[in-house]
Structure 1
C-alpha cells in the first residue's frame, strides 16, 4: 500500500509530521526518525518511516553537497545564468550576501539579484528566515515599495530578484539638497502610504532609515506640491522603501539580553524579546530596550526621517552606537524655533511621531498621511497625487527581509515608473509557458488560431481560466482566449498592437517538491503592451493537482491588483463540482465561432461538465450558446438537432441562473434567428450590452439584427465595435466586411476582405466572402483564383474565363469546402443555385425556411441573391418588414 491509497485525513496527518521533521532538520535541531514516529497515532507507521528516512537522506546529501563547495565556488560569475537571469557584474558585497546586476531575458529588463552568502549552521537558520519573510512580504503592493520579481535557490544559496532603482538613497539626497516644506510633506506621504499597506498585511519594517529609502529625483513621475502645497504643474521627488523585515535577519543587529533572559529560548522567542534590532538613531525606544517592535516603531522611524529632512540634522545623534541608544531612550529632540515657523503643523506631527510612549504617537501610518495632506494653515487637500491610493492587495512586495538590497544605478528605472497599473482598461491573456516542456506548438509574437479540437495544454488551461474569470470585470476589455506566447519585448509590443490592448497577462509554471509535497510554482506578470515593461507580478504556490476551481482565485487577485473586482455569479453562491468546472474551462476555450471543429469539441466538454454537476448553470448556458452558433455553420440534419438542443439547454440554464449572460445571449440568438421574434431579441441584446459592455458577441449579434431591421448605420456601428472588442475573431471581421458590401460600400468591402484573406490564407471563410463578392460582380477570373488548388482553366492575368465554364467547375466542388460564408450547407447551396439562374420562389423559400437555418433572416434581408425573394409572401412571415 502506498501514499496514493491513503485517505485525505490520513495523508494530511503524515504530511504534518513530515513537514515538522524537515523543518527541524533544516534548522539544525537534533531530531530522530524514531522520535517523529512516536508522535504518530495512525496505522501506517511503515509508510511514515519511509517518508521520514527519505527526507533525512535528501537533506544529508544536500548538506554534503553544500559542504563540498565553498561560498566562492557557489556564487555566480559574470556571464553565467541563474534561471532566466544573465549575471552582469557584482555591485556590492556585505557580511551576509552579495548584490548583482543582472538581465531578465524573458522580459528584457535590468534587475538586481541579492544572494545570501553564508555557510554552515547559520546558513540553514537564515535560509529558513529568508523563506518565511518572502512569504510574509509577498502581500505588499505599493508604488513606493521596491518590487520583488522572483525568489529562488541557486547551488543552495537563496536569492531574491528585484527591480533596479535609479537615483540616490535619502541620506545622500539630504546631504545635497535642502527640501521645501512641500517636498518634505510629499516624501512623507509616500512613505506613510507604503507603511500603511505593509502594516495592513502584517509586515513591520523595523529598520526604516534614510539609506533604506531610495529617491529617484524630480521628473520621475511623482507630483511635487507647489508653494501652497497644491499639485499643479511641477513634479517632485519619488521615493521607494526597501529592506523590509529585519526581524527575520541578523543585518544591522545589536544584541543585548534583558536581565534574567533565558539563553536556551527558541529562535522565535529570542527574536521577539531580548534582541535589539534596527539602527541606533532611527529605532524606537521600545526597540532599543529589546522589546517587540510593532507598527508604531515604524511611525517613530518616519518621524526621525521627517525631522532630519525638516531640521537638517538627526533627531538622535551621537559619536557611538551607545550614545545614539542613550539619546533615543533619554532625550527629546528640540527643533529650531525659526524652522518650526515654516510649517508648525508639520513640526507638531514630527513631535507626535517621536513620543517615547507608543500610545502617544499617531494611531496609524494612514493618519500621518492624512495630516501631511493638510495644506499648511488650511483645509485638507482635495486632490493630491499622494491622496488615498487604491491599495492593491496582491502585487508582489518588492522587499525581502535584510536580503532585499537595492542596486543603485542612475539610468536603470526606465519608463515603468511612468506607467500606471490603475489605467489599464484592456487585457489579453497569453498561454502560460511550462518550463518543463517545449512550446514550439504555440504561436509566438502573432495572433494565434483557435484551439479547435487539439489537446489543450496546461498552459492553455491556465490562460483560458483567467480569461473566463477576468471577463467578469465589466469595465475592462478582456480579449477572448487564443493560444499564443511572446518571448521578446518586440513580440509583446506586436501582440499588444494587434489586439489593441493596454496590457498582456503572461506567465510560467513549473513543478517542484517541497518536502513530501509536489508544488506548482505559477509566476504571473502583467506587461505593458506599450513599453514592454512589467507593471505587476506575483508568484502563486499551488499544490500539484489543485483544481482549476481553486485556482480561479488568481483572477480575483489580479483584478484587485488593477483596482477592479469581478461581478458575482450564481456559481459563487453555490460552488460547482471541481471536475465540472475544469470541463467548463476546456469547453469555453474551444467554443470559438471561428472553428466548427472546436465548437463540436466544446459541446462534448459542456455535456461532460453537466453530467458531473446538473445544478451548475454555466455548462448548460455553454451548450445553448455553442449549439445555436454551430447550427448556423453545418448541414441541415445536424442544424435541426442543434437548434432543438440550444432551445432546451438555454431554458434549463435560465431556470438555474436567470442572470446568465451566455444563456441570455443564446436566447436572443434563438429568438431572432429561428423564431423571428426580433423585438424581444433586441431588448435582450440591449440589456446585455449595458451589463457587459465588453462582450464582443453581444455587439456582433446586435449589429446583424440591426441590419435585418433596416438600421444600417447602427448595424455597422455595432459590427465595428465587435471587431474592436475582439480583433482575433475572423467571423467578426468578415461579418463587418460583408456588411459593407451588402450596404453598398463596395470599395471598403473589397479592401477589407482582401486584407483579411491575406491574414488568414488557410481560412475557407476568408476566401468565401471574396468568391461571393467577385461572383456578384461577374469577375469569374478573380473568383476562380480564390479556389486554392482548383484548376478552372485559363485564369492567368489577361486570360478569359466565361460564366458557364466557371460555374461548370464550381458546381462540382464540395460547397462545405468552398462556402460563401458561415451560413450552413443549405443556404450556401441556395446562393450558388440562385447565381446559376435558379431564382428563389415562394416554394423554394418555404423549403429553405422549414428547418429554420439560423442565418436565413440575415441573408434574406441583406444578401443580393435574395433581393427578389424579399417580396415573396412567405418572406413577410420571416422578415420584420414587408420589403427591404
Structure 2
C-alpha cells in the first residue's frame, strides 16, 4: 500500500504488523501532519450494520482527550479497506526501554502517574484497556508515556500468528498471558480493576526489570498467576522504597476486592510518593510534539487503542455497564474528614497537618446539604488504624474523607479520597498542589469536588463561595495554623500562644479575615478561663470579630463570636440571637455555633428549642463530651433535673475523670437538695481539677447549705487568694455567701460582678442555684438592669 492514498492520507511506510492489521505512517494532506493509519484485516467488519456500529463507537472513543493517550482521529472505508486514523507517536516502547535496565524510582513514579491518569480518564468514559503492558506504552521523544492500545476485544481473532507471549490466538485476543489478572484466567467477569492489576505488572517491571511472573510454560505461568505471590520488589531491587513496593503489590493482589478499587485511588497513592518539585506549581504533563521525525513507530506487536475497545461494543452491546459496573450508591448526606496525615516527614509540621484538617472541615461544612462532623470528634482518630467502616459507624456518617498533606518550602500538596462507609469503596480521589498563598482556593476546590461527587445540591451562593479565588501570604497562613494548633489545646499558656500567633498572622496579612475570626475566639476563651477580665478581653474580641466581618461577611465564625459577645458581655439578647441565626445560615454544620446557640436559647426561655439545638450539635460532633454536658445543662436550666442527672450519670460512668461532668452533676444534686450527693460529686471534681474558681464557688455553696460553715468559709478565702493572681468572677463568692445564708453579702458580690460585666450576669435570670435570691427585690432589680427589659424575665 506504500504510495497509495486512503482518503486524504498518503501512505509513506509500514511501521508495524500484527494479527489485528498493519500500521503505516501516513501524511495527512489536508492538515500537513504525520498520522498513523491502521488497515484492518479483511473481513473484520463483515457487513454494513457492523461497520456502522464500529463507526459509532469510534466516534465515542475519539472523544478521549488526554496527554497520555494516543488520540483517535477518524474511521474510514475505501476500496474495501477499513482503516483507522490515529495520532502518530514517535519514540520507543516502554518494553524497548526496559530492555536496557530498570528505571530509577522517581521515573517509575512519574511514568506511573501519567499512565494511571490516562486510565482514570478512560475508565470515567467507560473504556477499559484489558491489555496494558510495556509493549503497549510508548515513551515519546520528550520522555512522556503514551498508551497506544485501549480495550482489547474478546471476540477478535487475529489472522496472522500471535506473539510468543500469548498462550493461544483466542487468548491473545483477550489479553497477554503474563499480564492477565487471575479473574480473567478463571473466566470470571472483569471490570476496571483488571487494568489496576496490569498496571501493577507494568510498575513491577519498571522497578525490577522483569515480569512479576517469569514462568515460560503456559501451564506453569497460569498456575503462578493464580496461586503464587510475586517475588517482593525490594528483594530484586533494594533501591525501591517500601512505600512504592506496597503500592505495586496492592495493585497485583489476586483478589480484585483487595486491590485499588479505581485508577483514582492508585493515582492518589502514587502522587503521595512523588517529591514536590521546587517550582511554584506542578505543571501538567504537556502534549508531546507532533513534529514529524524519521524514526519508525515503536508499535511492535501491540494492538491498536481503538480497535479492541470498539470491537467489544460491536460484539457485546452494553459492554460499558458490564465492564465498569459501577453501583449507584445511596445519596451521601453526612461525611467526616479524618485527620490528614503529615507526609512532610517532619514532626514539627504536625501543626500544619492538623490545621489543614480543621481548615478543610470548615470549608466543606459550609455546604448546607451535607452534615459534616466537627473537628473535636474526628481528631480522636488521629494515628489510628481502625477500619473506615467502624469509624463511620462511630461517627454516624455515610462517608469519610481521608488523605495527607505534604509541605515543602512554599509548596503544599493535599491528597484526598472520599470513601463510602457502606461499601468501603473509594468514590473519588484527587491530589492538589499549589503555592501556600493559594491554599484557601485549593481548599475550596476540594470542598466543591466532594460536594459534586456526593451529588450534594449546592446553592448558587455556596458554589460561588467555594469557587472564589482567595490568597493569603504564606507566612501568615503558617502563623494562623500554629494558632489553631495552640487554640485547640485550651490550656492558658497555649491560649496566649494562640492569640500571639493570630496577631502575627494579621500583622503579616492585614486582610486575612479568618485570622481575625480566630483571634476573637482566642480572646473569648482567655476571658472564659479567667486569664483576662471581661472589660479587657471582650472589647478586643469584639473588635477582631467585627474586622473579620468587614473583610468577609460570609464567614460563620465571626458571626458566632460576635453573638457570644453581644449575649455575655453587651447583654443585648436581641442582637445576639440575630447573629447566631446568621452564623448558622452561613454554616449549618458549625457545631460550636449550635452549642453556643443552644445555651443562648435557654437564656431567652426557649428550652425545647435549646435542647433540639444541642442535640443537633451532638450529631455534628458525636464524640464531644462538652456538648453532652451542655445538653444536660439545657435540661438543668429547664428544671428537668431527672433527665439531666440521667445524662450526667451515664457520662461520668463512661468518662470517670471528666471533671466538669462531676461538677454539673453535683450542682444538679445541690439545687434538688440532695446535699450529700452534691458534695461527693463536687469534691471529686475538685480533685480532678484543683482550685478551679467555678467549682470552688458551687462546692462552697453546698458546704454552706449542708451546715459545713468552716469549710465554706475556707473556700471563700481561697477564691479571694486566687483573685489576686487572675481574674475570678465575684459570682463565685456570691454563691458561697448565699449558701451561708448571707444574702446581703451575696448581693454585694453580684453588684461587683455587674460592674465588671461578668458573663454570668445574663445567666442569673435562669440559673437554678440562684433561686434562693429570686424573690429578693434587690436581686430582681439587678436582673432588670442586666436585661434592660423591665418585667420580661424568663422565670417569675
TM-score (structure 2 length as normaliser) = 0.56
CA distance in 1 between counterparts of 2:623 and 2:486 reads 14
**Distance change (3 Å), C-alpha of 1:785 and 1:809:** farther
Partner of 1:359: none
**Deviation at 1:872?**
1.2
C-alpha distance after superposition, 1:91-122 (max 9, x if no partner) = xxxxxxxxxxxxxxxxxxxxxxxx99984426
C-alpha distance after superposition, 1:6-26 (max 9, x if no partner) = xxxxxxxxxxxxxxxxxxxxx
**Deviation at 1:610?**
0.8
**Deviation at 1:641?**
0.7
**Distance change (3 Å), C-alpha of 1:761 and 1:459:** farther
**Distance change (3 Å), C-alpha of 1:788 and 1:652:** same
Partner of 1:255: none
Partner of 1:719: 614
Q: Is 1:833 the counterpart of 2:737 in the alignment? A: yes
Q: 2:683 aligns with which of 784, 790, 795?
A: 784
**Deviation at 1:305?**
1.8
**Distance change (3 Å), C-alpha of 1:723 and 1:458:** same
Partner of 1:615: 511
Q: What number of residue pairs does the alignment pair up? A: 539
The runs of 5 or more residues in structure 1 that have no matched partner are 1-114, 149-168, 176-207, 218-236, 252-264, 288-296, 311-345, 351-368, 370-384, 387-405, 407-412, 439-453, 792-800
Partner of 2:604: 709
CA distance in 1 between counterparts of 2:423 and 2:717 reads 49
**Deviation at 1:670?**
1.9
Q: Is 1:851 the counterpart of 2:756 in the alignment? A: yes
CA distance in 2 between counterparts of 1:708 and 1:464 reads 30
Secondary structure (helix, strand or coil) at the match of 2:403 reads: strand
Partner of 2:100: 121
Q: Is 1:872 the counterpart of 2:777 in the alignment? A: no
Is the Cα contact below 8 Å between 2:555 and 2:583 reproduced in 1? no
The root-mean-square deviation of aligned C-alpha atoms, in Å, is 5.3
Q: 1:240 aligns with which of 192, 199, 205?
A: 192
C-alpha distance after superposition, 1:312-354 (max 9, x if no partner) = xxxxxxxxxxxxxxxxxxxxxxxxxxxxxxxxxx9xxx9xxxx
Partner of 1:469: 363
Q: Is 1:738 the counterpart of 2:633 in the alignment? A: yes
CA distance in 2 between counterparts of 1:615 and 1:508 reads 28
CA distance in 1 between counterparts of 2:328 and 2:385 reads 16
Q: Is 1:584 the counterpart of 2:480 in the alignment? A: yes
Q: 1:811 aligns with which of 702, 715, 719?
A: 715
Secondary structure (helix, strand or coil) at the match of 2:480 reads: helix
Partner of 1:650: 545
Q: 2:767 aligns with which of 862, 869, 882?
A: 862
Partner of 2:499: 603
CA distance in 2 between counterparts of 1:715 and 1:846 reads 29
Is the Cα contact below 8 Å between 2:480 and 2:501 reproduced in 1? yes
**Distance change (3 Å), C-alpha of 1:755 and 1:139:** farther
CA distance in 2 between counterparts of 1:273 and 1:883 reads 89
Q: 1:682 aligns with which of 577, 582, 586?
A: 577
C-alpha distance after superposition, 1:226-266 (max 9, x if no partner) = xxxxxxxxxxx9953754999xx999xxxxxxxxxxxxx99
Q: Is 1:304 the counterpart of 2:199 in the alignment? A: no
CA distance in 2 between counterparts of 1:685 and 1:715 reads 13
Partner of 1:627: 523
Q: 2:668 aligns with which of 745, 763, 773?
A: 773
Is the Cα contact below 8 Å between 1:509 and 1:520 reproduced in 2? yes
Say which structure is richer in helix.
Answer: 2
CA distance in 2 between counterparts of 1:129 and 1:605 reads 42
Partner of 2:416: 524
C-alpha distance after superposition, 1:811-859 (max 9, x if no partner) = 178569999xxx9644334333323323376654332222222242124
Partner of 2:115: 133
Matching of residues 391-402 of structure 1 within 5 Å: none
Is the Cα contact below 8 Å between 2:365 and 2:588 reproduced in 1? no
Is the Cα contact below 8 Å between 2:400 and 2:421 reproduced in 1? yes
Is the Cα contact below 8 Å between 1:547 and 1:582 reproduced in 2? no
Is the Cα contact below 8 Å between 1:509 and 1:522 reproduced in 2? yes
**Deviation at 1:607?**
0.8
Secondary structure (helix, strand or coil) at the match of 1:576 reads: coil
Partner of 2:269: none
Is the Cα contact below 8 Å between 2:580 and 2:593 reproduced in 1? yes
Matching of residues 473-622 of structure 1 within 5 Å: 473-482=367-376, 483-485=379-381, 490=386, 492-508=388-404, 523-530=415-422, 532-539=424-431, 548-549=439-440, 552=443, 554-563=446-455, 568=464, 572-573=468-469, 575-592=471-488, 598-622=494-518
**Deviation at 1:704?**
1.9
**Deviation at 1:612?**
0.7
C-alpha distance after superposition, 1:189-231 (max 9, x if no partner) = xxxxxxxxxxxxxxxxxxx9866999999xxxxxxxxxxxxxx
**Deviation at 1:682?**
1.6
Is the Cα contact below 8 Å between 2:365 and 2:587 reproduced in 1? no
**Distance change (3 Å), C-alpha of 1:140 and 1:860:** farther
TM-score (structure 1 length as normaliser) = 0.51
**Deviation at 1:737?**
0.8
CA distance in 2 between counterparts of 1:502 and 1:575 reads 32
CA distance in 1 between counterparts of 2:519 and 2:410 reads 35
**Deviation at 1:308?**
0.8
**Deviation at 1:692?**
1.9
Q: 2:334 aligns with which of 400, 421, 425?
A: 425
Is the Cα contact below 8 Å between 1:170 and 1:214 reproduced in 2? no
**Distance change (3 Å), C-alpha of 1:274 and 1:694:** same
**Deviation at 1:734?**
1.5
**Deviation at 1:732?**
2.2
CA distance in 1 between counterparts of 2:173 and 2:732 reads 75
Is the Cα contact below 8 Å between 2:549 and 2:558 reproduced in 1? yes
CA distance in 2 between counterparts of 1:147 and 1:669 reads 59
Is the Cα contact below 8 Å between 2:556 and 2:583 reproduced in 1? yes
CA distance in 1 between counterparts of 2:119 and 2:371 reads 31
**Distance change (3 Å), C-alpha of 1:865 and 1:597:** farther
Matching of residues 187-202 of structure 1 within 5 Å: none
Is the Cα contact below 8 Å between 2:406 and 2:413 reproduced in 1? yes
**Deviation at 1:783?**
3.5
**Distance change (3 Å), C-alpha of 1:705 and 1:783:** closer
**Deviation at 1:535?**
4.2
**Deviation at 1:301?**
5.1
